[in-house]
A and B are shown apart, each in its own frame.
Chain A
């Protein structure tokens, strides 16, 4: 397909865009580079290449404990947020009840409010309920804050879905329950996966809300935070680089899933009158 006429050459814009790209990537590049630098995180240029920091990282027990904690919280958050988000999206799409408008805004609030507000409110609630701060409170915080991510994503998926399919299913003799499992959920597959991946990443990464709900066991971000207070070493660069590598890996997987699923659906969208 040839370039439409509206795409013209724009050299200044291209350069500017390139500069913005560089700005976005500079810290990441520096981070990775200096994780291999023997002499620490500062100064220029980095001179001595070494894997020492990675070796130190692999022997660092507390970090891996915190990774495990983060994974557990993230997995639980995905489960809860997806389930509740799915229900909320269905409710917003199909049900009317008093306070629906308020409910919709309330669900979306944690997405737009600074984490400190949600975190502090939950802290006050925890104290009020006499609960001890722990990974459980962290999980409750993540699960609640991230419902909105699931709801938004799944709601968008519902809107894109062809309603007639559910009607066709009922028409052919399936009960509403059967229709949900055989038709609605499969159609939402992409949305669910997208939401799941996003919730997982956001939970692994979460600091603001976690900050106020953490007990004795640290999540990974909070463990790193604690280290930063004590002093900066390239070991932190090393763990950050690993986090980056895993994130990129996840994106690649997501991209594969999406384009494979999208291939079929894109075709169908083209066919539809």
Chain B
């Protein structure tokens, strides 16, 4: 039904743009990872040194592992917060469902930076939370670990990504035909059994999508650590950032980025497989 001219006209411009501004840059990054730095300039001398450095120097591996731990914690917490919220909205909210849904979305429209900044003002030793606790005489001194720690990074990132985890889970749950739930109850299953045996399995695609999103973006995040992480909360993206900044070593930074990229793409591949297995149409 569509002529060749039509199909060419719609394919070529995006292909060109994406090729130029996406494919080429990623390829450049890949190339850079095999180059070296000498006297503050990048030398196109092809080698594997950067990758070897990654695996031989423990500091990089350490930061990477910490980043993965933080990302995993964020994902877990976001799921623990986001899933019940989505379940509540989908199955128990009745007429107010639409309104509540919009209310969950609204904070997403507030800048990430702004929300991170808000947490900074809350968690600091002179922040709101400490002031609150002291006001109620629950504590007498500021609690230190709240800010400039991995805890703060996890907290902020969880806050950012809970709505993002909520969205696909909610969509998944909404797609479950209510007659299935009623059938399960009709056959004698309790609410808990119905949830475990019917609702949860059918919501797995949404759950995987949300979890992947949260994990991948937390892993590569550099802002939250800069805002609230302090020295102990540095993540792998901060290392890359400094290599592109003060500690001028673009090739090494590129190598780390490529590793992160490969890690993420593998993860996406894996979850895609899992999602297919768990989606019943």
Cβ of A91 and Cβ of B10 under 8 Å apart? yes
Partner of B26, one of A13, A97, A121, A207: A121
Q: What bracket does the count of chain B residues touching chain A fall in? A: 35 or more
Smallest Cβ distance from B54 to chain A, in angstroms? 16
Cβ of A116 and Cβ of B237 under 8 Å apart? yes
Cβ of B162 and Cβ of A24 under 8 Å apart? yes
- The digit string for B245-270, where 1 denotes a CB below 8 A from any CB of A, is 00000100110010011001000100
Majority secondary structure, B binding face: helix
Smallest Cβ distance from A168 to chain B, in angstroms? 12
**B201 in contact (CB, < 8 A):** no
Smallest Cβ distance from A270 to chain B, in angstroms? 17
Selected A-B contacts with CB under 8 Å, 27 pairs? A6-B185, A16-B88, A17-B89, A20-B81, A24-B104, A24-B107, A31-B117, A31-B121, A41-B128, A85-B14, A87-B14, A88-B14, A112-B212, A112-B216, A115-B220, A116-B257, A122-B21, A143-B21, A144-B18, A144-B21, A144-B22, A207-B113, A208-B223, A240-B111, A244-B110, A244-B114, A251-B109
Q: Which residues of B contact A84 (CB under 8 A)?
A: 13-14, 17
Per the bound structure, the CA–CA distance linking A208 and B129 in Å amounts to 28
Using known A-B contacts A16-B84, A24-B162, A125-B28, determine if residue A117 contacts B261 with beta carbons closer than 8 Å.
yes
Per the bound structure, the CA–CA distance linking A117 and B241 in Å amounts to 10
Per the bound structure, the CA–CA distance linking A166 and B159 in Å amounts to 45
Closest to A93 in B: B10
Hey, which bits of chain B sit against chain A, CB under 8 A?
A: 1-3, 6-11, 13-15, 17-18, 21-26, 28-29, 32, 81-82, 84-85, 87-89, 91-92, 94, 102-107, 109-115, 117-122, 124, 126-132, 134-135, 159, 162-163, 178, 181-182, 185, 191, 212-213, 216-217, 219-223, 227, 237, 240-241, 244, 250, 253-254, 257, 260-261, 264, 268
Partner of B107, one of A28, A44, A166, A250: A28
Partner of A225, one of B6, B109, B113, B121: B113
Per the bound structure, the CA–CA distance linking A208 and B13 in Å amounts to 26
Cβ of B10 and Cβ of A103 under 8 Å apart? no
Cβ of A91 and Cβ of B102 under 8 Å apart? no
Cβ of A94 and Cβ of B10 under 8 Å apart? yes
- The digit string for A23-65, where 1 denotes a CB below 8 A from any CB of B, is 1111110110010000001111100000000000000000000
Hey, which bits of chain A sit against chain B, CB under 8 A?
A: 3-10, 13-14, 16-17, 20-21, 23-28, 30-31, 34, 41-45, 83-85, 87-88, 90-91, 94-97, 103, 106-107, 109-110, 112-118, 120-125, 128, 140, 143-144, 147, 166-167, 170, 176, 201, 204-205, 207-208, 212, 221, 224-225, 228, 232, 236-237, 240, 243-244, 247-248, 250-251, 255
